[in-house]
Amino acid sequence: MNVRLLVLGLLQRQPMHGYELRRVAVESRIESWSGILPGSIYHALKKLEQEGLVAPAKARRGAERPRAVYSITAAGRRALSGLVREALSQPIRPFPTDLYGGLVYLDALPDDEVPEIMERQIAALEAGIAAWTSAKVKKAPLAPETEALFDSGIEHMRVDLRVLQRLRGRKPSRSRK
């Protein structure tokens, strides 16, 4: 996901200050499913402001200092539409390429290293499934699109978990010359 898409999309829903945007990103564990680092939101927000896609609407007084609350502009709404069109036009990558690439060439690792790596990946997927399932329940009721995305993410993790469980304990096939 593009950080610009994220910021403009959130501001389309409601005006927010930078800290709120970052908090939403952290709470949704955005880094784990989008590759966006929560800290990059501030930089994107400033850049979007310079481009006229967002504007400070007002300042909220807090305990320490006033914070600018940003709103999306008309130009920002047009840009968001373009970003959504672009995102939905990209080819879908149905495979976790790093995982599959590693599994294909498992024979490059010493045999005694493989079980630990497999168990670590299995544990990570089990924890991910539990976290996503818990988050889905906590956030209920969800918009149908959001619920579908949660279900899709959970199912993708379950499929990868089944692949790893199927290969668990097997010795890697050594490449033939």
Is residue 176 over pLDDT 70?
Answer: no
- Residue 58: beta bridge partners? 69
Residues 73-122 pLDDT 10s: 999 999 999 999 998 888 877 777 788 889 988 888 898 899 999 999 99
DSSP H helical ranges for the chain: 3-13, 18-27, 30-34, 40-50, 74-89, 97-104, 114-139, 144-167
Tell the CATH topology of 3-89: Arc Repressor Mutant, subunit A (1.10.10)
- Residue 70: beta bridge partners? 16, 56
All residues at 6 or more sequence positions from 54 whose CB lies less than 8 Å from its CB, including other chains? 7, 8, 11, 45, 48, 70, 71, 72, 73, 76
pLDDT of amino acid 64 = 64
